[in-house]
Amino acid sequence: MKPSKYLSKIETFDAATFWKNAYAHQRGKLLKKVDVPEDQIIALVNKKYVELPAALKYEIETSGIDKKELQ
């Protein structure tokens, strides 16, 4: 199937790799970008990526955030 100029490609952020290699402050910055409340950020930054809620992982991966924004 030939790509159409009318359909845009859905880009996803490789969050699992980022999460594994990021420091807590970088993880916090990512969670702030997807509008997670401050009290939940504190609890979530030290968890493994697979332990995050599915809805939050989906929001992170489809948010369009670029890794360069989080450095």
Q: Count up the domains in the chain and report the number.
A: 1
- Identify whether 8 is part of a domain: no
pLDDT (0 to 100) of residue 63: 84
pTM (2 d.p.): 0.78
pLDDT tens digit string along 42-69?
999 999 999 999 999 999 888 888 888 8
- Identify whether 36 is part of a domain: yes
- Identify whether 31 is part of a domain: yes
Choose the weakest-confidence range: 20-24, 35-39, 63-67: 63-67
Whether residue 7 is predicted with pLDDT greater than 90 in this model: the reply is no
Supply the range of the domain harboring residue 38: 26-70
Give the span between the Cα atoms of 50 and 24, in whole angstroms: 16
Whether residue 1 is predicted with pLDDT greater than 70 in this model: the reply is no
- Identify whether 61 is part of a domain: yes
- Identify whether 7 is part of a domain: no
The dihedral through the CA atoms of 55, 40, 50, 71 has a sign that is: positive
- Identify whether 19 is part of a domain: no
